[in-house]
Amino acid sequence: MNTVDINIPRVNQAVTALLCLLGFVTSRPAFVAVAFAILVLSRFGGPKVAPVTQLYVRLIRPRLRPDGPTEFEDARPPAFSQLLGTVFLGAALVALGIGATILGWSLTVLVASLAALAATSRICVGCILYERFLMRAAA
């Protein structure tokens, strides 16, 4: 089983929430596009090219935990949640691009809200969906 430092998904969720909320509050889809690009790089490029992972590993973790991570979690649920966020932000960008602003900003706020919830409380809706449906289907 592939594992991940438990803090990496939380930092990624916080950055995603912040960028989406900045985009919504300022009505600038560019912030949403940056969040989407980070998610795409992270999801499909792996940890070596994931900007938030690299930020955490190189700058944040050495100051918080110089001896390295102490808690790990299964990487599959957060990866699935990240995939859902990527799909929904992609749909938001398409909606914003074609002028369906209510739909676009609604999807953006949905992603921001769920990412903020996961980052602050460790309640990850995408992870729960993965564990309830996909892990059960594989069993």
Q: What stretch of H or E contains 106? A: helix 101-121
* 69 vs 95: which has the higher pLDDT: 95
Per-residue model confidence (pLDDT) at position 138: 66
13-23: burial string, b at 16+ Cβ within 10 Å, e else: bbbbbbbbbbb
Residue with tokens 């990624």: 12
- The chain-wide mean pLDDT, for the chain, equals 94
pTM: 0.92
Q: Residue 139: is its pLDDT beyond 70?
A: no
